[in-house]
A = this chain, B = another copy of it.
Amino acid sequence: MRRSDRIALISKTLSENPNKVISLNYFAKRLGAAKSSISEDLDIIKNAFINAGEGEIVTIPGASGGVRYRTQRSKQDIQKFLQDFCKILQEEKRIIPGGYLYMTDAVFSPVYSRIIGEIFAQLFIDCNPTHVLTVETKGIPIALMTARALNVPMVSARRDSRVTEGPSVSISYVSGSGQKIHNMSLAKRALPENAKVLIVDDFMKGGGTARGMMELAAEFKAEVIGTAMVVTTAVPKEKLVRDFTSLLILERIDTNEGKIYININDKLL
Contacts and interface: CB of A to CB of B under 8 A. Distances in A.
A137 to B, nearest CB: 4
13 contacts: A4-B7, A7-B11, A8-B8, A11-B11, A12-B54, A15-B15, A100-B166, A102-B166, A104-B156, A110-B144, A110-B148, A110-B154, A137-B140
B4 A48 contact: yes
Contacts of A189: 93, 102, 105
How many chain A residues sit at the interface, stated as a range, is 35 or more
A205 to B, nearest CB: 10
B141 A154 contact: yes
A136 interface: yes
A3 interface: yes
Contact of A144 (B44, B54, B141, B153): B141
The listed residue with most B CB atoms (<10 A of its CB), out of A4, A49, A111, A156, is: A4
Given A12-B49, A187-B102, A108 B163 contact: no
A155 B163 CA distance: 26
Nearest to A150: B110
Closest 8 CB pairs of A and B: A110-B148, A5-B48, A11-B11, A96-B166, A8-B48, A136-B137, A8-B11, A12-B15
Provide the main secondary structure of the chain A interface. helix
Contacts of A140: 137, 140-141, 144
Interface of A: 1, 3-9, 11-12, 14-16, 44-45, 47-49, 51-52, 54, 93, 96-98, 100-102, 104-105, 108-111, 113-114, 136-137, 140-141, 144-145, 147-148, 151, 153-156, 158, 163-167, 187, 189-190
The listed residue with most B CB atoms (<10 A of its CB), out of A11, A114, A189, is: A11
A69 B151 CA distance: 23
A97 B188 CA distance: 13
A267 B51 CA distance: 48
